[in-house]
Structure 1
Amino acid sequence: MIRILAVGGVLFSLTPALAGVAVAASISNSGASSIVLIVVENGNRAEVSLDAGGSDSICPTGCFVTLPNGDRLGLAGGETVDIKDGIATIK
C-alpha cells in the first residue's frame, strides 16, 4: 500500500521497505506534450525528458522529483507515477 504524506508543500510517498531489493519507480507522461523532470538521487541532480506518451524507470534507491509545475515528489522506488498536464498521480 502506498501512502502520501504532505509536509511543507512536499509530497512524500511511503511504501513498505524492500530489504535488499532495488526496484526503480516507473514514470510515464500521458500528457500531450513533452516534459522535463528534475531528479535528485543520492545528492546528484539530473534532468529526465519524457516525450508525450513516453515512460522511463528512475530512482532505484529513492529520490526527489520536481515536476514541471514546481511540485516535488519523494519516491522510495517501486512506485508507478503517471504525469498528465503537469499533475502527477502515484499508483
Structure 2
Amino acid sequence: MPRYIPAELKGKEAHNLPENLKRLTHREREVFALILEAQTAKETSRALNITVRTAGQHRERVIEKLAARSATDVLRIVREAEHMGLVAQSDLEPRP
C-alpha cells in the first residue's frame, strides 16, 4: 500500500537533496551510488570489500542524511529531484 505523504511535505526531500548530498562522506557517496543501483548491503559489502555490518551502517547513515526512511525512499527522492531538474546525473556519482 502506498505511503501517504502530506501535500506540504511532498517534494521537500527532493528540494533538499542537492544540499544533503554535500553532507555525504566519500565512502557514503560510494554506498549511495550502489543504493541507486538497487544493491543490497551484502552486495555493497562485496563491491567495497567491507563487512556486511559496515555496509549496513553506511547505508543507514546515507538514508538518515538524505532524510529518507529506507533505501527505496532514497530512490524516490532522487527520482523526484531529477524530475524537478534539481540534480543532474553527475551530481549522483561518487566524487573522486
Higher RCO structure (Cα 8 Å, ≥6 apart) = 2
The higher radius of gyration belongs to 2
Q: What range is the shorter-chain TM-score in?
A: under 0.3
Length-normalised TM-score, structure 1: 0.25
Q: What is the TM-score normalised by the length of structure 2? A: 0.24
- Structure in which a larger fraction of residues adopt helix: 2
